């Protein structure tokens, strides 16, 4: 049996090499299909690795609490909110919290001015605890201090993108910028974080939470976010349960009412992102997988032609003692090798295409091919070769030796 496999493989390789140009054209559909799938997978996997690192930088013990309003309620003009009172309750009554901070986003147009330069950015009011909770640290100057919040000081910490947009000096500390008609002194520059899915993490301005409250005035519908990190021995599920019970009671929700808030963890956000990427990969992979079927049909057609061309050769083999399974094996192996060669070429082309796409997009993570994608691509290529090679192989194996020898 081993001799039959080796001899069939040798004969199949000899036939493929003898018709090299035809073999390349035959496998073109497989090459395009595998290359498309690998390019998509390599780009999405590279993005996944990068985003995983970004979420990991937040820490696995970080929680974000924000308000949530169903679409039908928003259409009726109803909006849930988290209030400073909610923040106070969580800070005082929930066990296992290491650091906690409120976040109040600017409600006006987030315009920043420096001299004649104007830019738009995300302006947030927060406290000194934000650097520990969100892992934002400064490269120049200092972060927001507790005293800044207590005295409602007009100070700001800016991201590197804001510095570039406003043409501020490399070290912008002690410069003054205008936010919402008020002058703020820059006391710190945040370390660069880069982009995630095209969104800059450095286009941000942090001011003291109490200062932001005073700028917005007495608004009846203030809505804040609350971000916190857990202590070493705290369990996420336990803290999440405490938060949910406390906020439901504070918001007077009945047992039949849905939560009007959302508690998010870095792990949950990563799982959501993973599920989105998985769906995108499957859908695109399914679409380009049609190329593999087209390539398989092409292989079957050429193998049928090959059987016709080699009818006399098959008759001679059978006349000197070749069995039916020998002929069947030879043509199946030839079909499978054709498909596998196409898969290998498609694998290399797909990785090259993925790297080219990733490299052409600024700040996009490098392409990466997981081992399962390589196995799947080559395995499916081999399967296509066998599937579409069965008919030609069976036709060759069933030829009558006398008729085959007579064939001109």
Statement: residue 394 has pLDDT above 90: no
Ranked by mean pLDDT, which of 35-44, 91-100, 191-200, 275-284 comes out on top?
Answer: 91-100
Helix (H) or strand (E) run with residue 122 in it: strand 122-126
Higher per-residue confidence, 224 vs 325: 224
* Total domains present in the chain: 2
Residue 235 burial (10 A CB sphere; 0-12, 13-18, 19+): exposed
Residue 62 lies inside a defined structural domain of this protein: no
Q: What does the block give as tokens for 158?
A: 């800016």
Residue 22 pLDDT exceeds 90:
no
Sole residue written with tokens 């972060």? 143
Classify residue 109: in a domain, yes or no.
Answer: yes
Please check whether residues 181 and 241 belong to one and the same domain. Answer: yes
Q: Choose one of 259, 284, 311: the last residue of a domain.
A: 259
The residue written with tokens 């009671």 in the block is: 249
In a 3-state reduction of DSSP, which class is residue 177?
strand
DSSP per-residue string spanning 211-238: HHHHHH-S-TT---EEEEEE-TT--HHH
More confident residue, 297 or 144: 144
185-207: per-residue pLDDT in tens?
999 999 988 766 556 788 899 99
Angle, helices 324-360/2-18, rounded to nearest 10 degrees: 60
Mention every residue, 6+ apart, whose C-beta is less than 8 A from residue 194: 200, 201, 202, 363
Q: What pLDDT band is residue 301 in, cutting at 50, 70 and 90?
A: confident
Q: Residue 128 has what pLDDT? A: 92
Model pTM score = 0.62
| Mean residue pLDDT across the chain | 80
Residue 230 domain-assigned (yes or no) = yes
Residue 255 within any structural domain of the chain: yes
> Radius of gyration (Cα) for the chain, nearest Å?
32
Give the residue numbers spanning the domain of 93. 69-259
What pairing do the DSSP bridges indicate for beta strands 117-120 and 155-158?
A: unpaired
Note whether 280 and 249 are same-domain residues. no
Kindly state the average pLDDT of the residues 215-235: 79
Please name which of 254, 286, 236, 198 lies closest in space to residue 94, comparing C-alpha atoms.
236
Residues 239 and 322 reside in one and the same domain: no
């Amino acid at each position: 049996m081993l001799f039959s496999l080796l001899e069939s493989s040798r004969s199949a390789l000899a036939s493929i090499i003898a018709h090299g140009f035809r073999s390349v054209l035959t496998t073109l559909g497989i090459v395009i299909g595998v290359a498309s799938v690998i390019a998509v997978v390599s780009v999405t996997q590279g993005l996944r690795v990068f985003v995983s690192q970004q979420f990991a930088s937040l820490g696995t013990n970080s929680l974000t609490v924000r308000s949530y309003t169903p679409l039908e309620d928003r259409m009726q003009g109803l909006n849930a909110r988290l209030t400073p009172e909610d923040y106070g309750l969580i800070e005082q009554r929930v066990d296992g919290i290491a650091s906690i901070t409120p976040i109040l986003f600017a409600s006006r147009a987030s315009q920043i001015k420096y001299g004649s330069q104007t830019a738009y950015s995300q302006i947030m009011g927060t406290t000194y605890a934000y650097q520990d909770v969100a892992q934002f640290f400064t490269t120049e100057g200092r972060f927001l201090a507790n005293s800044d919040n207590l005295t409602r000081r007009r100070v700001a910490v800016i991201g590197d993108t804001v510095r570039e947009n406003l043409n501020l000096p490399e070290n912008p500390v002690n410069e003054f910028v205008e936010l919402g008609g008020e002058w703020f002194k820059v006391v710190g520059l945040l370390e660069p974080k880069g982009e995630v899915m095209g969104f800059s993490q450095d286009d941000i301005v942090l001011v003291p939470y109490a200062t932001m409250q005073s700028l917005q005035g007495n608004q009846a519908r203030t809505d804040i976010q609350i971000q916190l990190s857990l202590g070493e021995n705290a369990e996420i599920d336990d803290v999440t349960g405490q938060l949910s019970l406390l906020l439901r009671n504070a918001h007077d929700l009945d047992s039949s009412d849905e939560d009007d808030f959302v508690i998010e963890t870095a792990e949950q956000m990563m799982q959501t992102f993973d599920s989105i990427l998985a769906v995108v990969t499957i859908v695109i992979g399914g679409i380009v997988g049609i190329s593999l079927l087209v390539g398989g049909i092409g292989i079957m057609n050429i193998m049928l032609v090959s059987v016709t061309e080699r009818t006399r050769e098959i008759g001679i083999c059978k006349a000197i003692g070749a069995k039916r399974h020998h002929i069947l094996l030879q043509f199946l192996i030839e079909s499978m090798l054709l498909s596998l060669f196409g898969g290998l070429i498609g694998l290399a082309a797909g990785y090259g295409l993925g790297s080219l796409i990733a490299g052409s997009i600024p700040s996009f993570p490098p392409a990466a091919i997981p081992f399962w994608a390589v196995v799947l691509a080559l395995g499916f290529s081999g399967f296509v070769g066998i599937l579409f090679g069965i008919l030609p192989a069976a036709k060759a194996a069933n030829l009558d030796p006398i008729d085959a020898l007579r064939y001109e």
